Amino acid sequence: MQVRRFLSASFVPLVAVASTLVAAPAFSGGKIEISEDKWISIGAGLRASISKQGGAAPDGGSSNDFSVENMRLYLGAQIHENIKLTFNTEKDGSNGDAARVLDAIAQFEFSDLFNVWTGRFLPPSDRSNLDGPYYLNAWDFPMVQAYPAIYAGRDDGIAVWGQTDGGKFKYQFGAFEGRDSNANQSDSMLLSGRLTYNFWDPEPGYYNSSTYYGAKDIFAVGVVMMSQSDGVGTGANNNGDFTGYSADLLLEKKLSNGGVPTLEAAYYNYDTSDINDAFLTQGSSYMVLGSYLFSNKVGMGQFQPYVRYQSFDKDFANDTSRTEVGTHYVIDGQNARITLLFAQDDPGGSADTENSAKLGFQLQI
C-alpha cells in the first residue's frame, strides 16, 4: 500500500508536467565548412529532471527536486584530413553553477584499422560508459558500474583503437592516469582495453549506444579489462592493485510490425586486493534491461517502455539493488526524448527500501 500511495502521489503531478512539454522540438547540430578538409562543428545537450523521493525531505516526507543533471556544450573541429579536435564542457548537478572540462581530445585518425586519441576522454570501458547519459536506454547511469574515473567516466591518457568491416569488430586499448593516491608510489598507469564484436549490423566509431530505435539490428558482445598496480589504498603500507573486468550484451531487432524489442545485460567484477578503499568498491554486480519501442506514433513521438534491474554484491558494505520501470517518449531519437520512471532502491542491511519517481527531459542540437 505504501508503494502504491507513493506512485499515485508521484504519477499525477509528473505526468501533468509531461503533457505540457511533449511538443518539445527536435534539433540537429551545425557545421561550419572552412575549406575542403577543415571544419568546425558546435552543439549542445541538456538533461533536466523533476524528481520525488520518499523519506528524503527534512521532515521525513517525500522530497521534490528540480535538477539540471547535464548541460553540455560540444565543439569539434577537423584541422587536417587525419587530425580532429574535440572539446566538450559540462555543468551538472554536482558542481553548482560551474562548468568543467568534459572532453579535450586530440584525434589522429589514420584509417579504420588504426587511430590514436590522447587527452581527456572515456577510456575503453563498458557499453554504458561509452554511451554516456544521452545514449543510454534508461535515464540514470547504472549504479553497478564502478570503474575509476576523474569525472563522468573520463580520464587523462592515450588510446589506440580500430575497427574492421565498418565496425563489426572493434578493439580499444589505452593507458591513463588512473588513481593518483598516496599508495601509488610507483606512479603506475591505469591500463584499459575493450573488444567488441557485432554479429549483425556494425557500430562504427569509438562510441556506441544502447538503443538505435530500429535504425540498426544489433547483436553485440563486448569484454573489458582494467588494471592499475598500486591503485588502491591510502599509503605505502596500505596499498594494493586494482583489477576490474566486465562483459556486456546488446540485442535489438526491428520486427515486421515495426516494433523494436531490446535486451541489454552487463556483468562486472572489481578486485581491490581485499583493501577497503573509500573511492573503489570490491565485489561483483550485474544489470539487465528490457525495452520495447512501439511502432505507432502518439502525437509527435513513440513510447518505449522499459524495465531494469541492478544488483551489487559488495565485500565491504551492504549489498544493494535497484528495480525501475519507466517509459521513454521518443520524439527524435536521443535528440528529443522524455522519460518517466519509478524506482525502488534496496540499500541492504536493515534499512527500508526507498521509492522514487522522476520525469526527465533530454534535448540535443
State residue 16's pLDDT score: 46
> Do 112 and 162 form a contact (C-beta atoms < 8 A)?
yes
What does the block give as the cell for 359? 520525469
CA dist 52 and 68 (Å) reads 15
Burial profile 75-85: b = 16 or more Cβ within 10 angstroms, e = fewer: ebbbeeeeebe
Beta bridge partner(s), residue 139:
none
pTM of the model: 0.89
- C-alpha 211/C-alpha 138 separation (Å) is 10
pLDDT(293) > 60: yes
Dihedral, CA of residue 130, residue 135, residue 136 and residue 139, to nearest 10: 130
In DSSP notation, 263-301 reads EEEEEEEEE-TT---TT---EEEEEEEEEEE-SS-BTTB
pLDDT beyond 90 at 233 = no
Percent share of the chain, pLDDT over 90: 76
135 — phi, psi (to 5°)?
-120, 15
| pLDDT for 237 | 66
Separation of alpha carbons 26 and 22, rounded Å: 11
- Cell numbers at residue 295, please? 511502432
Residue 9 has φ and ψ, to the nearest 5°, of -70, -30
In the chain the domains, ranked by start, together with CATH numbers, are 2-364 (2.40.160.10)
C-alpha cell at 53: 523521493
pLDDT at 29: 57
* pLDDT-above-70 percentage for the chain: 90
Tell me the one-letter amino acid at 280.
L
Query: In the predicted model, what is the mean pLDDT of residues 55-65?
Result: 78
pLDDT at 15: 46
Amino acid 185 reads Q
CA separation for the pair 126, 193 (Å, rounded): 10
Backbone dihedral region of 361: left (phi > 0), alpha (psi from -120 to 50 degrees) or beta? beta
* pLDDT tens profile 110-146: 999 999 999 999 999 999 999 999 999 999 999 999 9
pLDDT class of 1 with cuts at 50, 70, 90: very low
- Indicate the pLDDT class of residue 350, thresholds 50, 70 and 90: confident
Residue 12 has phi, psi (to 5 degrees) of -60, -55
Phi, psi (deg, nearest 5) at residue 143: -75, -10
Q: Which residues contact 247 (CB under 8 A, 6 or more apart)?
A: 221, 222, 223, 224, 266, 267
